[in-house]
Amino acid sequence: MHVLDIILKKRNGGSLSKEEIEFFISGYVGGNIPDYQLAALLMAIWFEKMDERETAELTFAMRDSGDIIDLSDVPGPIVDKHSTGGVADTTTLIAAPIVAACGIKVAKLSGRGLGHTGGTIDKLESIPGCRTDIEMSRFKQIVSECGMSVAGQTNELVPADKLLYALRGATGTVDNLSLISSSIMSKKLASGSDTIVLDVKVGNGAFMKERKNGEELAAAMVSIGKMADKKTVALVTDMNQPLGNAVGNALEVQEAIEILQGQHDGDLKDVSIALASQMILISELVEDEPAAIAMVKEALESGKALVQLAKMIEAQGGNPEVCNDTTLLPKADTILSITSQNEGYISDVMTNEIGMAALLLGAGRATKADTIDPAVGIWMKKRLGDRVEIGDELAIFYVNDTKKLEQAKSRFTHALVLGDQPPKKNPLIYAKIS
């Protein structure tokens, strides 16, 4: 078998066999196929697409390129949850403790933030002492004993994805349905959970801008899950404004804790409840959605979910007292109020620009090598559709380094578009794909 034959076959619109897909994945990971040939194949895939079977075979080959976590010795149902990313999306730190409080294990391997999107690992590491670089044996132990663990992905897990992702970014082949879905699902399948709940974000702060494309991605990933004999469901949710009010690592942890304490309502809480309900439903703990929602609300209102989060934080070396006292989280030196210079209704929010404003303050990374400041970020005071008068507070900026403060302020204020009328409100959850 020769890689050139595989390139030509796909370039000419052919369907690649399981053996051909396994050949080029193992060859590339093993260093036997050079970047330029894989780049040509990726471009052929981008133009000619992959069918449902090819996409699943690609996913399985990537999954099998490294370690696969075996959670079979962890008692009880185990569920994993994944979001395709956005701004102020802290659902994991809310939904996972809720589900764990209901008796279902949550085993989640997460990544770091890059660009305008935040990473769950960065958020957790803003908690004093909390570690996410834990051995897989300890990860399994924490899942078994505490009901949940969120840890960083190891280098041995799906090495093919790391290599392909970097090459896709350098060759303009990121936005292909098969390549996106195989990247996400190969990691989910290698993580060892029984069931998978996906949150596919759609809107100007998400990778998928259009609902149609988001639903296609959700359907592709659910199909892969089913072909792998994993119960999988996806919610397609709105990301046309930050999901929560806090944008920045310690601030987002604070908001998640305060929601678990019962202090806040809003979009972040609502999506977290919806995801937690699906995690319970897919684990077959209850028979229908109303029963799952009732179970979720009881875990929240009783305080059991907050206790679960504290248990995991302590097990991973962090200070569990943050769940009672969020002032123990890192704090910025300077707090600035950002006020409106105009009046009107917030008719549009350029969500990615708000994420970039937080990045300029030091809350995010422009490249993987960048360091972040866990204390800085933005707490929004107005949301889409709100009426704004001159002098009204739009947000609070939490700042340590002022070098790029003016740029951040400019990007933030321009991200809130004012109009004469309130906008038509999008649904928070567009669809469920199962």
The question of whether 187 is a catalytic residue gets the answer yes
Report d(CA 120, CA 159) in Å as an integer: 20
The question of whether 414 is a catalytic residue gets the answer no
Q: Which residue has the tokens 């679960």?
A: 308
Q: Which tokens sit at 281?
A: 């439903």
With residue 83 as reference, give the H or E element that holds it.
Answer: strand 78-83
3-class DSSP assignment, residue 149: strand
Q: What is the largest CA-CA distance in the chain?
A: 69
Beta strand pairing call for 377-380 and 231-238:
unpaired
Q: Which of 161, 199, 267, 373 is catalytic?
A: 161
Q: Which of 105, 162, 168, 311 is catalytic?
A: 168
Angle at 233 between CA 229 and CA 235, to 5 degrees: 160
Report d(CA 402, CA 410) in Å as an integer: 13
The question of whether 161 is a catalytic residue gets the answer yes
The question of whether 149 is a catalytic residue gets the answer no
Specify whether the CB–CB gap between 29 and 160 falls below 8 A: yes
Q: Which of 105, 112, 116, 187 is catalytic?
A: 187
3-class DSSP assignment, residue 431: strand
With residue 110 as reference, give the H or E element that holds it.
Answer: strand 105-110
DSSP letter string over 216-281? HHHHHHHHHHHHTT-EEEEEEEE-SS-SSSEESHHHHHHHHHHHHTT---SHHHHHHHHHHHHHHH
Q: Which of 181, 183, 193, 223 is catalytic?
A: 183
Specify whether the CB–CB gap between 385 and 346 falls below 8 A: yes
3-class DSSP assignment, residue 287: coil
Strands of 175-314 (E only): list them: 195-202, 231-238, 246-247
Q: Which of 63, 81, 82, 230 is catalytic?
A: 82
List, by residue number, the catalytic residues. Answer: 82, 161, 168, 183, 187
